[in-house]
A and B are shown apart, each in its own frame.
Chain A
């Protein structure tokens, strides 16, 4: 839907006529561009999911499709919430310790005036432990990230890194939630 919006607005870029019309069109384009930019930045990252080393329970096909979808959406949420200091966004895909820690991050960002931006270049996600009752899933994620830290508008630090994360997901009503997210030196 976001892409369609942007393609549609590009087609509107047909300057001509009076200066007023041109200004209106430019203002409209600027507005649409502003609306589009965050959505582009917030696209869900690519997630490659591997279940070949899972145990003790095997993963059902539907779950195998939902896990990478929800993992990607969780990372998308994380990036937006940290960049915009929006703890209210976290509840959809994070719960428990993961939500508490991310909320604490946002609280200290607000306190210090620092801000973190995650530019997500994709994830190699592997299911590691799937509990026999299907109630908990431990994952190993190798994430390709660019992490930028701003002090106000000043870029303090930028890092393109490959990080290892351990994640714990549990099922919610219609999706899976991240309950734990920790970066680790190695698997």
Chain B
């Protein structure tokens, strides 16, 4: 009998120990951020309750047999929470996930801040959807992107977010000026300003006339292919090729035109270029 008793005790211990250790708290699989949660308990006596979350940890004394109330402020951050209840020589635990609540803000990245006109897929918009506690809203939401330039109809497109992100590529407008780039979702709007500037010059035209000092060359008003005046400061290169050799002058556009005085005495052929764009050529005769 003496030999059997320890064996029985051991067997009972081995059978009961796993059941104690394996006791789980009754928890939902997921709840929305900022929700209230009630956890039922059984037994009697005092116990310590722990809640371990992504940005919040709590420890408090509770009474077994009574419900444990989790306040909305304790489960604001999305992520995995572990609840542990220790008391009466046993420990129960469980975990649940807090997922984002309804969308409340957009984190909107617009790129670039300055872009030439008429650029295909040149404007990039990326919007991340967050709830009011800065949790990423992963369920699909429709984000409306709108690019509106002054005196031009806005271009709009809707995109479904995937895993919290919606993105779009849009063409820049044909007219230079500031454009409002908006991402919107359920009354939430984020606006960025995209400066649309003239693109490269188009159809460079020059005229040249001889004067006492040499040759004065001047462009016609320099415009891009959409008719926008090219920004002041854009460099225009005049090249003169004559018996005296090749000479080059770089000048910035000022008030839509670029001009330079070339000190050429003999006949020459003068050409113009800006960036990769070539203009016309003019021939001038030698000084009398």
A residues engaging B (CB < 8 A)? 56, 97, 100-102, 104-105, 108-109, 112-114, 116, 128-129, 131-133, 135-136, 138, 147, 149, 151, 156-157, 159, 163, 166, 168, 180, 182-185
Contacts and interface: CB of A to CB of B under 8 A. Distances in A.
Q: Would you call the interface of chain A mostly helix, strand, loop, or mixed?
A: strand
Interface string B13-50: 00000000000000001100000000000000000101
B58 A100 contact: no
Interface residues on B, range: 35 or more
B59 A166 contact: no
B134 A100 contact: yes
Interface of B: 29-30, 48, 50, 52, 54-59, 77-80, 82, 84, 86, 91, 93, 95, 97, 99, 109, 111-112, 124, 126, 128, 130, 134-136, 138, 162-165, 167, 169
Contact of A151 (B59, B93, B95, B130): B59
Given A131-B167, A132-B167, A135-B111, A101 B124 contact: no
Q: What 9 pairs across the A-B complex have the smallest Cβ distances?
A: A101-B55, A133-B111, A104-B55, A183-B79, A183-B80, A97-B134, A108-B57, A131-B126, A157-B84
Given A131-B167, A166-B164, A116 B55 contact: no
Given A114-B59, A129-B167, A135-B126, 15 more contacts: A100-B55, A101-B77, A101-B134, A113-B59, A132-B126, A133-B109, A133-B126, A136-B128, A149-B57, A156-B86, A157-B93, A166-B164, A182-B78, A184-B138, A185-B30
Contacts of B93: 157
Contact of B82 (A97, A100, A108, A149): A149
B52 A149 contact: yes
Contacts of A168: 128, 136
A151 B55 contact: no
Nearest to A114: B57
A133 B113 CA distance: 12
A184 B138 CA distance: 10
Contacts of A116: 52, 57
Contact of A131 (B59, B77, B124): B124
Given A114-B50, A185-B97, A159 B109 contact: no
Q: Interface centre among B30, B50, B99, B112, by most A CB within 10 Å?
A: B50
Contacts of A151: 48, 50, 59
A182 B135 contact: yes
A42 B86 CA distance: 30
B80 A105 contact: no
A129 to B, nearest CB: 5
A151 B130 CA distance: 33
B73 to A, nearest CB: 12
Contacts of A97: 130, 134
Nearest to A108: B57
B225 to A, nearest CB: 25
